[in-house]
Amino acid sequence: MSQTKEAFAKATALDTEIAVSTRNICKNYGAVEALKNLSLDFPRGQLTSLLGPSGCGKTTLLKIIAGLLEPTSGEVEVNGRLVTGPGPNRAFVFQDFALLPWASVMRNVAFGLELRGVAKSEREAIAERYIREVGLAGFEKSFPHELSGGMRQRVGLARALSVDAKVLLLDEPFSAVDEQTRRKFQEDMLNLVAHENKTFIFVTHSIEEAVFISDQIAILLPRPSRVSEIIRPTGFRNRDMGNIRRDPEYLDIVDQIWASLRSYVE
């Protein structure tokens, strides 16, 4: 009796640990099989990277979790609830930024809150804080076509952060920013993960970036894609950020991932 109770307690504890879980996801676009039988759990409060060759279905998986796409079969649970569509517990950073070209940076960043019916003064105060946080202070009144690619990407990032969702879905959020800013953002991201109890699902093409910021890295195979490997860097997570890139475990994992991905590049 006590044994089952214990097992039950353990199971529920495990349950709450998992913020997002995908089970046996298949997704076909007509004849194209983008995802096949993909199952993956995303622990709460951690950052999971999806790493894989271009066109392997990373964006597709992210959109299915966001509720923007219906999987052909399989299911997604967020906080134990089945996903049937978009919801306020998830925010998306789009690969192509998806900014309103006719709206200022301020309105773009506040747009998520606007759609949720937050009063103008309140949402602009929140937006202003995140505009500053992504380093765009002074550009509040600019329009997207007046910004560089990297700056636009940061507007999309600020918009997703400002709605304060528990799960953040980031589709190559740093792909257009310069290397210096990128490193700063990676460090900011580590701080964000450490201090806010949010779950991050992060798509990237950069092996180094994935190893640097992730608690868990899922390597996806090319189409039809499944998870081929899950890597959990642990050793250097609690170290000083400045030293991570010199850590032997960091370098080993980068090499190991490269070894398993290189066959698909050649």
Partner 1 sequence: MKIGNYQLPNMSSLLLWGLLWEIIGRSGMTFFVPPLSEVVMTLFSVIGTPAFIKALSETAYAFFAGVFFAIAIGVPIGVLMGKSRLIDELLLPWVNMFLSAPLTALVPVLMVLFGFGMKSIIITTTLFAIWIIILNTRAGVKQINRSLIEMARSFGATARDAFFKIYIWAALPEILNGVRIGVIRAVKGVIIGQLLISIVGFGALFELYSANFLMAHFWAVLIVLFAMAFAVSELLAYLERRVSYYASTR
Ligand X SMILES: Nc1ncnc2c1ncn2[C@@H]1O[C@H](COP(=O)(O)OP(=O)(O)OP(=O)(O)O)[C@@H](O)[C@H]1O
From residue 11 to residue 50, what is the string marking binding to Mg ion with x (rule CB under 5 A)?
A: ----------------------------------------
Nearest distance from residue 97's CB to ligand X, in Å?
13
81, containing H or E segment: strand 81-82
In terms of CB distance, is 57 or 144 closer to ligand X? 57
Nearest distance from residue 50's CB to partner 1, in Å?
18
Please report how the helices 120-133 and 105-115 are oriented relative to each other, as an axis angle in degrees rounded to 10: 130
Q: Mind giving me the DSSP string for 15-52? A: HHHEEEEEEEEEEEETTEEEEEEEEEEEETT-EEEEE-
Tokens standing for residue 263: 């066959």
Under rule CB under 6 A, residue 60 binds ligand X? yes
Under rule CB under 6 A, residue 34 binds ligand X? yes
Look at residue 250 and give the partner it binds from partner 1, ligand X, Mg ion, none, a contact being a CB closer than 5 to 8 Å depending on partner kind. none
Q: Which stretch binds partner 1 (CB under 8 A): 12-20, 111-119, 122-130, 205-213?
A: 111-119
The rounded radius of gyration (Å) of the Cα atoms in the chain is 19
Separation CA 130–CA 107 (nearest Å): 12
Which sign, positive or negative, has the C-alpha torsion 119, 149, 209, 260? positive
Bridge partners (DSSP) of residue 90 are 167
Task: Enter the DSSP assignment of 83.
Answer: -
Under rule CB under 6 A, residue 80 binds ligand X? no
Under rule CB under 5 A, residue 59 binds Mg ion? yes
Under rule CB under 8 A, residue 67 binds partner 1? yes
180, containing H or E segment: helix 179-195
Q: Is 32 left (phi over 0), alpha (psi -120 to 50) or beta?
A: beta
Under rule CB under 6 A, residue 59 binds ligand X? yes
Under rule CB under 6 A, residue 58 binds ligand X? yes
Separation CA 127–CA 257 (nearest Å): 38
In terms of CB distance, is 60 or 186 closer to ligand X? 60
In terms of CB distance, is 57 or 233 closer to ligand X? 57
Residues 217-236 that bind ligand X (CB under 6 A): 223
Binding partner 1 by CB under 8 A: which of 91, 118, 157, 170? 91
Under rule CB under 8 A, residue 100 binds partner 1? yes
Tokens standing for residue 174: 């740093």
265, containing H or E segment: helix 248-265
Under rule CB under 8 A, residue 86 binds partner 1? yes
Nearest distance from residue 47's CB to ligand X, in Å?
18
Tokens standing for residue 97: 């930024």
From residue 147 to residue 176, what is the string marking binding to partner 1 with x (rule CB under 8 A)?
A: ----------------x-------------
- Identify residue 109 by its one-letter amino acid code: V
Under rule CB under 8 A, residue 120 binds partner 1? no
In terms of CB distance, is 97 or 185 closer to partner 1? 97
Binding site for ligand X (CB under 6 A): 29, 32, 34, 54-60, 95, 223
